[in-house]
Amino acid sequence: MLSLYASMAQAATTFWDPLGIGRAAIDYWRDAAERSVLYLDVMRQRGNQYLEHMEKTRPSVLGFATEMLVDGRDLPRPVNYELMRVLPPEGVIVDDDMRPFVVVDPRAGHGPGIGGFKPDSEIGVALRAGHPCYFIGFLPFPVPGQTVEDVVEAEAHFLRQIIERHPQTDEKPMVVGNCQAGWQLMMAAALEPDCFGPILIAGAPLSYWAGERGKAPMRYSGGMLGGSWLTAFASDLGAGNFDGAWLVQNFEKLNPANTLWSKQYNLFANVDSEARRYLEFERWWGGHVVLDGAEIQYIVDNLFIGNRLSSAQLQTRDGRRIDLRNVRSPIVVFCSKGDDITPPPQALGWIRDLYGSVDDIQANDQTIVYCVHDTTGHLGIFVSGSVSRKEHAEFTENMDYIDILPPGLYEAAVNERPGDGSAAQHVDGDYLLEFTPRDLDDVNAIVQPIHEDERRFATLARVSEINLGIYQRYAQPWMQAIVTPEAARWIRRMHPIRLGYKLLSDRNPASVPLPVMADFVKANRAAVGNDNPFRVAESMLSDQIVNALNVLRDVRDQGIEWLFLETYGQPWLQTLAGLGVDRGELPNRRPGLEPEHGRFIAQRMEALRGRIAEGDSHHAVMRALIFVLGGAPSTDERNFQRLKQTRAQIEPDINLSTFKALVREQFFILKLDSPAALEALPTLLEGQNAQAIDAHLAHIEHVVEASAPLSERTQSRLDRVRELFARAKPEARPGPA
């Protein structure tokens, strides 16, 4: 009987609504109402989560258990940073004899932990590879009076502690610096180079004036505000502390479509599946921290506006110059074209700021590798599981290879693993890491430097100093007298971003019915499919809103760029700022182009000429390998894997640090005078019998053929080495006259 009534109801509905529009509308509005309740309940949970997170003494979103090793507040110059050892999850085995792996998270408005936010993260990748892992985090409030220099010294101290914990390995820690932590690590490595192994800086801005016109609008912000006086004002509103929520607000303004609509609509549209992911991310995004006023002022004046780090103009309080050319470790720069916070020009511009040519990089005994992702955004560089499983995994698995790369400039590419065969036997994982030598012209093609724009930013730096001085002289004393610590706390609590979390939480009586309503909805949920016409219309409307907001953003950014270029490009303003007439001189220091640096390079090359014929069979083997592999357009991890497997047999008495020095010395000698260096190979092999020489040659062939098929140039170079090694055999040497 019930089935009969149901059939009659179905027939009646079909008769009165043959296209099903009415039924679809009813289903949609019920679904939309249910999603609204679930959405509001998720926002309530977000508020509760925020309040719970901010009440913690050490709030962090790190997804791994840790053990505190060093509290930065106990150092001679205390800071709010901490060194922690990451405890491996169950089932993961760590080898303490392997190179330590360290992650430093950015302190740019958010709390720590993003580098180990997920199992597929920088830390997760290193743990699965067996490396002992450490994490440098920070507390939500600074130690009064701490400075950027204090933080840099603390990070160097932490690394020394890590090295002492692993005396059984001569491999220095690999250190990863995300975003703002990247430039801090580079400063520390320039001052204490012996503490660092390979350095990976991910999404880290080091050259703040760089950027392509029409993109990177954040670099104009300081000019539109008249310089850094507003930073001092914000710190005074905080009674000496700067609220990181202001930095987060700047990030959110970059993409108003996402901030005002897309992020929330994506949760609303997919609330049944997106709630957990949304809450996990918001736990970090809403974990605002506070910086000391002196810290943020130093950052804005010297980096964001002054651009002094990439031109070696910073000095410590004891007079040491912070020159990034002093970094002795390989530097891996990982950036993305989809990153609007640290675009590739800002991540790579420091290379052209510091060096005049690749010869200059090599003369400084530096190895710089850059990798440019095509699409991922700023946070995706650290958070995206696909990026961690691919780029970060390859960098981690091949850190020893990166450590022994000869000095120079390289572009790294992560490609699909070769198919079955001998080529695939020497590749770890699903991808192949390749390095291609590059020139400064390749970097310039990414940075796209514009001389006139550099003068504009230099003008802004001078104007900023003037405005800051006026503020500090006439307004700051009044602000410091008016704003008390209690008033500063209320101002911080009333920040719009913070209020957005607090207002919709269990502390708001109006939210009391939400969990009950959400439980009822979940028990009786009637979700509609994506083919519902009203659901389709909703999605189309959302797209239109996003497009409209994007248009407004583009108009805003174009207007800001035009206003900046016009204002700071005025000759009268540049003259008043002390830059005078543009005679083509560089507005900022370029250390690599200075005459005394050219003399240094010449002296370095001359010293190497006398060592061409010095050495033994180890020098001969490495010189031959570098010569042969230098004939290929690129090298990859397969050659290194074979070299690592056979080196212990052929050269058992050479440790990694000695091996690294050997590689670099022979590279320089070959670059200085390749014909003479090759002709000296038989001399270096003197004292070796024919069997030993054949073993050395077999070692070279074994390593080179890992990346077969060989190019014609590489094969020709290998034949040349065979000829020289054959000439070195005792029976081939001319006897006494």
Q: Where are the alpha helices (DSSP H) in 355-475?
A: 358-363, 380-383, 385-387, 393-397, 399-403, 440-447, 451-474
Alpha carbons 618 and 547: distance in angstroms, whole number: 63
Bond prior to 709 in cis (omega within 30° of 0): yes
pTM: 0.86
Sign of CA dihedral 372, 395, 360, 716: negative
The dihedral built from the CA positions of residue 368, 371, 372 and 378, taken in this order, carries a sign that is negative
Predicted confidence at residue 568, as pLDDT, reads: 94
Residue 1's pLDDT is 46
* Exposure of 700 in the CB half-sphere (CA atoms within 13 A): 29
Work out the number of other CB atoms within 10 angstroms of the CB of residue 13.
13
Burial of residue 442, with CB atoms counted within 10 A of its CB: 0-12 exposed, 13-18 middle, 19 or more buried? middle
Which superfamily is assigned to 66-209+307-449 in CATH? Alpha/Beta hydrolase fold, catalytic domain (3.40.50.1820)
3-class secondary-structure state, position 290: strand
Give the length of the chain. Answer: 737
* CB neighbour class for 16 (10 Å; exposed up to 12, middle 13-18, buried from 19): exposed
Q: Which of 205, 187, 444, 201 is nearest to 334 (CA)?
A: 201
User: Does residue 310 contact residue 353 with C-beta atoms inside 8 Å?
Assistant: yes
Q: In the chain, how long is the greatest CA-to-CA distance?
A: 121
Contact 437, 423 (CB under 8 A): no
- Model pLDDT, residue 228: 93
Residue entry with tokens 């320039």: 190
Instruction: Give one DSSP letter per residue of 348-381, joined into a string.
Output: HHHHHHH-SSHHHHHHTT-EEEEEEESS--TTHH
**Rounded to the nearest 10 degrees, how much is the dihedral formed by the CA atoms of 363, 369, 370, 373?**
170
How far apart CA 157 and CA 159 sit, in angstroms, is 5
Token pair 């979103």 in the structure block, residue: 61
Contact by Cβ (8 Å): 308, 76: no
pLDDT of res. 668: 78
Average pLDDT by stretches of 10, the chain with 737 residues: 47 56 88 95 94 85 89 95 92 89 88 76 85 93 94 96 90 90 94 92 90 87 90 95 92 92 95 92 88 94 91 89 91 90 91 87 87 86 74 82 85 75 51 87 92 91 95 95 94 91 90 94 91 93 96 95 94 88 59 60 68 80 81 62 57 67 78 83 84 84 75 84 84 57
Nearest to 175 by CA among 110, 100, 111: 100
Report the alpha-carbon distance of residue 121 to residue 131 in Å, rounded: 14
Beta bridge partners of 306: none
Local structure of 717: helix, strand or coil: helix
